[in-house]
Amino acid sequence: MSALHRARQLQPGSTVRWDRLERDAFSAHPEVLAGPKSGSSGPPKPREWLLLAPLGLLAAVVAGAPIWGYVAIAADGSRFATAAPDSDPSVTIAVAGSFYACALVVVLSHIVIWLRNGRPKARMDLGYLGITAVLGAMTTLSVWRRGTAGGVETWDRWIIPVVLATVVSGVHACVLLVIKLRHEASSALSLEGSDALDARTARAAELDDAEQATIRADLDAAIADLERRGIITTAVAARARSLDLGALALTMMSRNRGTGSARLP
């Protein structure tokens, strides 16, 4: 079935299923609208655990660096972590500074990846930056207080990675938050939906010109039929025509009855 054939089956007042129209248009190339490819599943082999276990431990230490750094310095007066009442401030300050140096490397790596890909790949990216910024500010205050009170000569050097990680994380978190809010306001797509949209349009762009022209003609004919019979408005039709191939269903979301909707299967 073509997209035009499906469009002709709709009657005034019907809810337009853009996902079905798009799927019919891409019936010869269903892989364009497929989800991301999943890797092989199954539990790791015994030999793989020998490598995965230390790597997992290292990842936990690095990923939790802001928390471990804060724990190391901020709990003075209790028996929590290294900052016991009789702990040496020069040791706890060095531990906190070392952890935040690791956090700074993680944040800078994230920025490099973001600049290459143009979008954070998971919501945890923004969460990690926020945690680093908040705990980093608290850790900075604790290092300053314990360093000056304890007469630690090197506290001003160890506080540098803490301050840098805090500032860089805070600024980058604000940038990502603004981009996320603007994106949601303009397209009502989640970050995951945006990634799926990018994947679909990229696969559609890989088709040869003749195939793209055939798909585009089918979709345009379907849109024109829906507009002519008053099932969608002229504004909705213009928006649908302006989209890249592969972007129709994911972009035409949250539409009211009579202007179209896209409920993905």
pLDDT tens profile 7-55: 999 888 888 888 888 999 998 888 888 765 544 445 556 665 566 667 6
The three-point CA angle 100-103-109 to 5° equals: 145
The answer, yes or no, to whether residue 218 has pLDDT greater than 50, is: yes
Q: What's the pLDDT score for residue 264? A: 31
Q: What's the pLDDT score for residue 42? A: 53
The residues pairing with 261 across neighbouring beta strands, listed in sequence order, are 17
Nearest to 202 by CA among 9, 11, 31, 27: 31
Q: What's the pLDDT score for residue 217? A: 94
- For range 78-91, the mean pLDDT: 59
d(CA 62, CA 76): 23
For the record, the structure tokens of 216 come out as 């585009």
- Of 195-199, 212-216, 252-256, give the lowest mean pLDDT range: 252-256
Whole-angstrom distance between the N-terminal and C-terminal Cα of the chain? Answer: 18
The answer, yes or no, to whether residue 72 has pLDDT greater than 70, is: yes
pLDDT grade, residue 110 (50/70/90)? Answer: confident
Number of residues written out for the chain:
265
Residue 206 phi, psi (nearest 5): -80, -15
Q: What's the pLDDT score for residue 13? A: 82
pLDDT in tens, 131-146: 999 999 999 998 998 8
* Top-confidence residue, 189 or 107: 107
Q: What's the pLDDT score for residue 201? A: 86
Q: What's the pLDDT score for residue 32? A: 84
Q: What's the pLDDT score for residue 254? A: 41
Q: What's the pLDDT score for residue 246? A: 87
DSSP state of 33: G
For the record, the structure tokens of 185 come out as 């306001």
In which residue are the tokens 């981009």 written? 179
* Top-confidence residue, 162 or 114: 162
